[in-house]
Amino acid sequence: MSVTPDAALSPSAGRRFRAYTTKHLDELTARAGLAADERLAVQAVAQVLPFRVNSYVVDELIDWDAAPDDPIYRLVFPQADMLPSGDVARIADLLRSGASRKELNEAANGIRATLNPHPAGQMDLNVPKIGNEEPVPGVQHKYKETVLFFPKQGQTCHAYCTYCFRWAQFVGDADLKFASSDIDQLVEYVRSHPEVTSVLFTGGDPMIMGEGVISRYIEPLLEIEHLEAIRIGTKALAYWPQRFVTDPDADDTLRLFEKVVASGKNLAFMAHFSHPNEMTPELVQEAVRRIRSTGAVIRTQAPLIRTINDDPAVWESMWRTHLRHGMVPYYMFVERDTGPQDYFAVPLAEAYEIFRDAYQKVSGLARTVRGPSMSATPGKVCVDGVTEVAGEKVFVLHFIQARDPELVGRPFFAKYDEKAAWLFDLKPALGATHFPWENAPVASAGGLVDPTRL
């Protein structure tokens, strides 16, 4: 590992982290040229959905001359029309009248409850139990090979994406949060499940934690022989690359990565990049170089988001750039059925065409990417194409991963629907009366799953 950062980095490289929250929103949206009524509407949305950005994103990534249409601006700043106009008007009226925080929270919580805050059975179907009795807090076990862990100190981010499917982790309602600080219970659970070969640290963003904290979570897992990989899901490379270059514990963090690799485990750094502009600063390129020097493998992923990256040229550019810097393109996701999905979602038929157009323009080395993929309740479903079978126009799909392992890799068909944006918008094709996962209760990592709940 090189412990000496490149000297020719941006002026913000060594600055301390500074976060901007809703109290700064009016000033920042004014900078984007929004009128007073537009700024109030944005403030109203920010009472319901989380807002947080930092000095690096504001100073280095956003083109303020292009705001509010700049893709990075749209990536982190709430939009006035992200929520139904009636809901926005109601909250705006409360703000205008000087309503109390209690009144605002009650109104915001009512709207949040309609937004499917924990999709795909995260709070019930995915939570395992020890001895089939005691739920394991902060742990999800949807697929038999992989356990997800939500460290308590990692349930925030350097900045929030407007489309984030885990937005519920960041709002004030404790009932919507999901986390644990009990590493011993995680270790006990993984030790007792030899089928688990991978632990994914997720959030929020685990890389918001300092090295001293994250090492306490990771190091005990290195003693588990059947565990093959540690994964870290993070947006830190895009939103705060200083974490790996100039932060006080940057070198210690990279030494921890080296320790994971030296233990014989694969360290998979699951980097979330939403737009090629996030790769432009030299600082992020240096951070990528330093992480890769530890032996970690950086895999890149992001959802396809309307108004931000719904253009095949954007994805082609992203995948080419990631490959050039030694990263592995991994997933194009479909926007999940939560939060402001209706605002950001791209119909599956269009999503497939965007993926295909970008995919055919990159070399085989970048064709490691999979998608468009839906992380739905029964599993990860990939749209493979649109074709005609026996005179019927259909979507061809397959499970990349599934609660029921028997479904993995099996193709199935759905009636073509140009408006469908999610798995549950689709209907069986070719005379079928149900989809494969609807046949019977299926065995999953957490036990039997009633198909009527899928």
- How many angstroms separate the CA atoms of 401 and 275, rounded? 26
Asked if the peptide bond before residue 372 counts as cis, ω within 30 degrees of 0, the response is yes
Q: Using one digit for the tens of pLDDT, what is the confidence trace for 104-128? A: 989 988 888 887 765 544 555 677 7
348 Rama class: left (phi>0) / alpha (psi -120 to 50) / beta: alpha
Tokens at 54, concatenated = 């930092």
Can you give the pLDDT at residue 365?
A: 97
pLDDT confidence band for 337 (50 / 70 / 90): confident
Tokens at 317, concatenated = 């550019």
Residue type, 211: E
In this structure, the number of other CB atoms found within 10 A of the CB of residue 3 comes to 11
Q: Is the pLDDT of residue 446 over 60?
A: no
| Interval 408-427 mean pLDDT | 96
| Interval 212-218 mean pLDDT | 95
| Interval 204-222 mean pLDDT | 95
Q: Would strands 328-334 and 297-304 be described as parallel, antiparallel, or unpaired?
A: parallel
Q: Using one digit for the tens of pLDDT, what is the confidence trace for 226-235? A: 999 999 999 9
pLDDT confidence band for 210 (50 / 70 / 90): very high
Using CA of residue 351, residue 353, residue 356, residue 360, what is the dihedral sign? Answer: negative
- % of the chain beyond a pLDDT of 70: 87
Phi and psi, residue 174, nearest 5° = -60, -30
- How many angstroms separate the CA atoms of 172 and 162, rounded? 17
Q: Using one digit for the tens of pLDDT, what is the confidence trace for 41-79? A: 999 999 988 899 999 999 999 999 999 999 999 999 999
Which H or E element spans position 259? helix 250-262
Can you give the pLDDT at residue 173?
A: 54
Tokens at 231, concatenated = 């994964």
**Residue with structure tokens 């995915």?**
126
pLDDT, the chain, mean: 89
Residue type, 355: F
Using CA of residue 380, residue 120, residue 237, residue 273, what is the dihedral sign? Answer: positive
Can you give the pLDDT at residue 453?
A: 37
| Short-list 326, 314, 259, CA closest to 286 | 326
- % of the chain beyond a pLDDT of 90: 73
Q: Using one digit for the tens of pLDDT, what is the confidence trace for 148-185? A: 999 988 888 999 888 886 666 666 655 555 667 789 98
DSSP-assigned states of every residue in 126-148:
S--EETTTEE-TTEEEEETTEEE
Tokens at 125, concatenated = 């179907």
- How many angstroms separate the CA atoms of 407 and 450, rounded? 16
Q: Using one digit for the tens of pLDDT, what is the confidence trace for 236-281? A: 999 999 999 999 999 999 999 999 999 999 999 999 999 999 999 9
Q: Using one digit for the tens of pLDDT, what is the confidence trace for 286-331? A: 999 999 999 999 999 999 999 999 999 999 999 999 999 999 999 9
User: pTM to 2 decimals?
Assistant: 0.89
**Could you tell me which residue, 408 or 170, shows the higher pLDDT?**
408
Q: Would strands 19-20 and 370-376 be described as parallel, antiparallel, or unpaired?
A: unpaired
Please say whether the beta carbons of 441 and 449 come within 8 A: yes
Residues in the chain: 454
The distance of Cα 34 from the centroid of its chain, to the nearest Å, equals 28
Q: Would strands 266-272 and 297-304 be described as parallel, antiparallel, or unpaired?
A: parallel
What residues contact residue 152 under an 8 Å CB cut-off, 6+ apart?
Answer: 138, 179, 180, 181
Q: Where do the domains of the chain lie?
A: 19-115
**Could you tell me which residue, 222 or 335, shows the higher pLDDT?**
222
**Residue with structure tokens 């939403």?**
274
Can you give the pLDDT at residue 372?
A: 97
SS3 (DSSP) at 180: strand
Which of the residue ranges 183-197, 226-240, 354-368 would you say has the lowest mean pLDDT? Answer: 183-197
Please say whether the beta carbons of 260 and 268 come within 8 A: no
